[in-house]
Amino acid sequence: MQRGAKAACDIFINIFMPTTVHIPDALLKSVDRRAKALGISRNRLIVRALEQAARERPGWAPEFLERLRNVDQETSGAVDELLVAVKDARRSKEPRDL
């Protein structure tokens, strides 16, 4: 396949990826109201929301870990040990800063 033809195919793959998602009626009505208020399509709003969710922190929320540390001394130590073990066990990627 020539370079230009391959690039053209990639554009269609990246732009149009039909999929089916089951959304509860009440949520769908809420999405429709929000999209209308923003002056965008339902599809665009859902794509934006998914993009945002995909960008958000991939690890545990710092607040979650902090709450665990504040349970008691034993749990606090266990949280710290868990983080060290998770970082040490990573093989395919550099350890994340949890």
User: Considering the domain boundaries, does residue 70 fall inside one?
Assistant: yes
Segments forming the whole domain that contains residue 71? 59-91
Whether residue 28 is found in the same domain as residue 43:
yes
Tens of each residue's pLDDT in the chain, 98 residues? 455 555 555 555 566 677 888 999 999 999 999 999 999 999 999 989 988 887 776 666 777 777 777 888 888 888 888 888 887 777 666 656 65
- HSE-CB for 49 with a 13 A CA cutoff: 10
Whether residue 47 is found in the same domain as residue 65:
no
Indicate the number of domains in the chain: 2
Model pTM score = 0.45
User: Considering the domain boundaries, does residue 19 fall inside one?
Assistant: no
Residue 69's closest CA among 60, 61, 78?
A: 78
User: Considering the domain boundaries, does residue 7 fall inside one?
Assistant: no
Residue 45's closest CA among 23, 14, 64?
A: 23
Whether residue 48 is found in the same domain as residue 63:
no
